[in-house]
């Protein structure tokens, strides 16, 4: 296995399938220490090649006694590297080091209180009594492994934390990585800084510097193509690569005519005029509209848009001589998803990307953001001087307004949607709600309803307002927007957008609904 970066101080997180594994990584990185998540069954040679300063074993849904229980190589405990086991990771450590684990009388799930019994590096500078933590486990430690000491207990877990300080092996029954364990950050930092003796050197400034160097080395004198959409990820990729290789980066921006108001102009202004990027713009509004004519099925729309995008992008890319690389904004969660040992989730909606293109054109991939979480990408964007408007942008789907205009896509419908969308974004910005929301947008419904404007009867279209809060788009809840804000948006849309006489607010959560309507 090859590791792209050789930071001096790196933590390895072995994943046993906990829903919180990514959170552990987030916490470690927030403390400015680089870390990576790998599957529990990572080979010992690869673990050694990674040169971890410490290893964290995540929690997981299994019981160590399950026949299919995930087991990692027990030699990790004798590598001379500190290990912190969390929940399932604690039980596995106990079992593999010859302690004993039993089923607890009752599952302990949710808030709990522990008392710290003995001083240790792990609990240094943390209250000793009535420490609030978050538990989520069925098994518990019955007997400590030889030479281990119990460090803390709760009512239901006589051994809520254990350690063998001489070998720098520690474990906790609770989850220090979740916010419901208020001292969790301190415990993790004790592990990182006192026990593993890491230095907090992982910053976005250091990331940018190293990344530019790595990209230069990898790309050499070749040319690189990048699909620029104006979203956060592709914008950061483009500016980062531009810093590394200047005019040898060729960005292609396909205007599919399904973008928000002023979007196409803004992409050109920012990237061509301000950042001086080599930008090729393809105006394909008419051909997209033509292919979408009369199409009402959402999956059909998505496929048409995705395929046409790839077709046009490829045509443009072939004109660039000596292109050897394709730059992509792959993020760390995508990487984890693809190496995770859990099965891939079923496709609910087809998302498009430049699928198949690298193989057909024999392009190699450069993915400078594949180590980063979304919030880290935003910090890199800031470091690179991207405008705040781009950095804090809400996600915008590849198929654009076409999947927010229910029924068939028309120029007139798009115009209505664009205006309604503009008003919503303006109001969200002005009220300060924008930064709290995952997304806020307009959906144009394919129905008409009766209204009255002045003395006249109207028979016009309906706009649905969608505003959701979410951390990762996997689940989402509708935002409890103040009535005054809803009122202002509704008034403005009905007054300013010709063809709309009714605004409704979507109060569905995901699941069972999805964020987009199509």
What residues are labeled active site?
A: 87, 175, 177
Residue pair 22/336 in contact by the 8 Å Cβ criterion: yes
Nearer residue to ligand XMP within complex by CB, 163 or 329: 329
Residues between 361 and 400 with contacts to ligand XMP, criterion CB under 6 A: 395, 397-399
Q: How far is the CB of 222 from ligand XMP (least distance, A)?
A: 27
- Of 135-143, 205-213, 281-289, 507-515, the segment contacting ligand XMP by CB under 6 A is 507-515
Structure tokens at 254: 């396909």
Q: What is the CA angle 155-157-161, rounded to 5? A: 120
Exposure b/e, 187-217, CB count within 10 A at least 16 = b: bbbbbbbbbbebeeebebeebbeebbeebee
Nearer residue to ligand XMP within complex by CB, 163 or 398: 398
Binding mask 467-496 for ligand XMP (x = CB under 6 A): ------x-----------------------
Q: How far is the CB of 399 from ligand XMP (least distance, A)?
A: 5
Nearer residue to ligand XMP within complex by CB, 20 or 517: 517
Nearer residue to ligand XMP within complex by CB, 220 or 511: 511
Nearer residue to ligand XMP within complex by CB, 80 or 512: 512
Which positions ≥6 away from 389 have C-beta within 8 Å?
none
Distance CA 89, CA 116 (A): 20
Q: How far is the CB of 409 from ligand XMP (least distance, A)?
A: 15
Binding mask 318-357 for ligand XMP (x = CB under 6 A): ------------------------------xx-xx-----
Instruction: List, in sequence order, every residue forming a beta bridge with 314; answer none if it has no partner.
Output: none
Q: How far is the CB of 475 from ligand XMP (least distance, A)?
A: 9
Q: How far is the CB of 404 from ligand XMP (least distance, A)?
A: 9
Going by the DSSP 8-state scheme, the letter that residue 384 receives in this structure is T
Residues between 67 and 126 with contacts to ligand XMP, criterion CB under 6 A: none
Closest CA to 88 of 110, 111, 106, 65: 65
Structure tokens at 447: 């129905």
Residue pair 228/267 in contact by the 8 Å Cβ criterion: yes
Nearer residue to ligand XMP within complex by CB, 82 or 399: 399
Structure tokens at 37: 């998540």
Residue pair 298/270 in contact by the 8 Å Cβ criterion: no
Nearer residue to ligand XMP within complex by CB, 194 or 303: 303
Which positions ≥6 away from 283 have C-beta within 8 Å?
255, 264
Nearer residue to ligand XMP within complex by CB, 169 or 476: 476
Q: How far is the CB of 397 from ligand XMP (least distance, A)?
A: 3
Residue pair 74/96 in contact by the 8 Å Cβ criterion: yes
Q: How far is the CB of 129 from ligand XMP (least distance, A)?
A: 44
- Of 174-182, 208-216, 283-291, 510-518, the segment contacting ligand XMP by CB under 6 A is 510-518
* Residue 398, phi-psi category: left (phi > 0), alpha (psi -120 to 50), beta (remainder): alpha
Residues between 430 and 449 with contacts to ligand XMP, criterion CB under 6 A: 439
Distance CA 51, CA 63 (A): 29
Q: How far is the CB of 293 from ligand XMP (least distance, A)?
A: 20
Distance CA 255, CA 512 (A): 33
Closest CA to 518 of 438, 418, 400, 432: 400
Residue pair 163/148 in contact by the 8 Å Cβ criterion: yes
Residues between 273 and 302 with contacts to ligand XMP, criterion CB under 6 A: 302
For ligand XMP, the binding residues (CB under 6 A) are 302, 348-349, 351-352, 395, 397-399, 439, 473, 510, 514-516
């Amino acid at each position: 296995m090859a590791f792209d970066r050789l930071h001096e101080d790196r933590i390895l997180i072995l994943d046993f399938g906990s829903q919180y594994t990514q959170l552990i990584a987030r916490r470690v990185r927030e403390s400015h220490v680089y870390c990576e998540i790998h599957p529990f069954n990572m080979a010992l040679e690869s673990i050694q090649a990674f040169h971890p300063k410490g290893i964290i074993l995540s929690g997981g849904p299994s019981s160590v006694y399950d026949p299919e229980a995930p087991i990692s190589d027990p030699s990790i405990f004798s590598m001379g590297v500190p290990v912190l086991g969390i929940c399932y990771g604690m039980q596995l450590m106990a079992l593999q080091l010859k302690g004993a684990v039993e089923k607890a009388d009752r599952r302990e799930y949710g808030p709990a209180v522990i008392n710290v019994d003995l001083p240790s590096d792990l609990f240094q500078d943390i209250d000793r009594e009535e420490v609030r933590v978050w538990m989520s486990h069925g098994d518990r430690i019955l007997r400590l492994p030889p030479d281990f000491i119990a460090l803390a207990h709760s009512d239901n877990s006589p051994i809520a934390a254990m350690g063998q300080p001489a070998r720098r092996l520690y474990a906790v029954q609770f989850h220090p990585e979740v916010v419901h364990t208020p001292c969790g950050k301190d415990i993790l930092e004790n592990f990182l800084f006192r026990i593993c003796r890491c230095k907090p050197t992982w910053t976005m400034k250091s990331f940018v510097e190293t990344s530019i160097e790595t990209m230069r080395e990898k790309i050499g004198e070749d040319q690189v193509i990048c699909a620029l959409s104006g979203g956060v990820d592709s914008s950061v990729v483009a500016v980062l690569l531009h810093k590394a290789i200047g005019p040898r980066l060729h960005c292609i921006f396909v205007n599919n005519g399904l973008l928000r108001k002023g979007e196409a102009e803004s992409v050109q202004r920012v990237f061509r005029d301000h950042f001086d990027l080599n930008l090729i713009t393809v105006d394909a509004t008419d051909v997209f509209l033509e292919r979408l004519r009369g199409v009402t099925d959402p999956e059909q729309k998505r496929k048409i848009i995705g395929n046409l995008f790839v077709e046009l992008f490829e045509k443009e890319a072939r004109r660039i001589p000596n292109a050897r690389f394709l730059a992509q904004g792959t993020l760390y969660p995508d990487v984890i998803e693809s190496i995770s040992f859990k099965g891939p989730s079923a496709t609910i909606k087809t998302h498009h990307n430049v699928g198949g293109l690298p193989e057909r054109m024999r392009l190699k991939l450069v993915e400078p953001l594949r180590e980063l979480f979304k919030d880290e990408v935003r910090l890199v964007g800031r470091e690179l001087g991207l405008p705040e408007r781009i950095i804090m942008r809400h996600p915008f789907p590849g198929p654009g307004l076409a999947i927010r205009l229910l029924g068939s896509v028309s120029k007139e419908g798009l115009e209505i949607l664009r205006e309604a969308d503009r008003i919503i974004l303006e109001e969200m910005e002005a009220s300060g709600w924008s930064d709290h929301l995952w997304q806020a947008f307009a959906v144009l419904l394919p129905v008409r309803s009766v209204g009255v404007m002045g003395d006249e009867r109207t028979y016009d279209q309906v706009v649905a307002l969608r505003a959701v809060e979410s951390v990762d788009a996997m689940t989402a809840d509708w935002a409890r927007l103040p009535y005054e804000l809803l009122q202002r948006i509704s008034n403005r849309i009905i007054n300013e957008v010709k063809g709309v006489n009714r605004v409704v607010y979507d109060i569905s959560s995901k699941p069972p609904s999805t964020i987009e309507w199509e």
